[in-house]
A and B are shown apart, each in its own frame.
Chain A
Amino acid sequence: GDSVTQTEGPVTVSESESLIINCTYSATSIAYPNLFWYVRYPGEGLQLLLKVITAGQKGSSRGFEATYNKETTSFHLQKASVQESDSAVYYCALGDRQGGRALIFGTGTTVSVSP
């Protein structure tokens, strides 16, 4: 079936260190996947961080990057140097560009950045 698997948290990193959150997907019934990263900052609602709809392309936002790799069915989220304000819960999600179903979300990865 269609599913998303991401790094289990919690993940703790120090400020200015690099961060990678792994996301792999299975899209057996989706011909043209859209891939998303959502984020929930403390006290705020879930919001879109970045999206990529074309294989091989990279999305970026707020210093985060993710590349849609069709060969490895991955969409890992990376940041070279995190800040305390990046502490949040991050969700990887899979959609179908041709519609027909709702997004499939991973279970979320809690990231804590220590000063």
Chain B
Amino acid sequence: GGIITQTPKFLIGQEGQKLTLKCQQNFNHDTMYWYRQDSGKGLRLIYYSITENDLQKGDLSEGYDASREKKSSFSLTVTSAQKNEMAVFLCASSKGQGSEQYFGPGTRLTVL
């Protein structure tokens, strides 16, 4: 088994602020993902990475940067936080891109 940890659990920032969310996995999975989930809606893919130092844009990448400096970690940066970005951000990992994904507990972002 394995686990995905996300930090912080709650993130509060000011409008326009740059904010970073972190994710670690110990599954030894190659592929990692960042999703955004707005209240009452489905998951939307922001970025994913199929290996260390690889980055692939998802449908919602504008306004975000990502970094995969090592296999076990994947970070997401909100470049300029906006109030309409308040959501839960979910990190996931999988063995391959079409395989089942394992999810972290999420980071809830609040923008003041």
Contact = CB atoms under 8 A, between A and B. Distances in A.
Contacts of B98: 34, 95-101, 103
A98 B96 CA distance: 9
A45 B48 contact: no
Contacts of A107: 41-42
Contacts of B103: 38, 45-47
Interface string B17-53: 0000000000000010101000001110100100000
Contacts of B43: 91, 105
Interface residues of B, number: 22
Interface string B51-79: 00000001000000000000000000000
A25 interface: no
Contacts of A105: 35, 42-43
Contacts, number: 51
Contacts of B90: 46
| Residue of B31, B43, B102, B104 ringed by the most chain A CB atoms within 10 A | B43
B110 interface: no
Interface residues of A, number: 22
B45 to A, nearest CB: 5
B97 A51 contact: no
B84 interface: no
A111 to B, nearest CB: 14
| Residue of A51, A99, A103 ringed by the most chain B CB atoms within 10 A | A103
B82 interface: no
A45 B41 contact: no
Interface of A: 34, 36, 38, 45-48, 51, 91, 95-103, 105-108
23 contacts: A38-B103, A46-B90, A48-B100, A48-B101, A48-B102, A51-B100, A91-B42, A95-B97, A95-B99, A95-B100, A96-B98, A97-B98, A99-B97, A99-B98, A101-B97, A102-B31, A102-B33, A102-B48, A102-B101, A103-B101, A105-B35, A107-B42, A108-B42
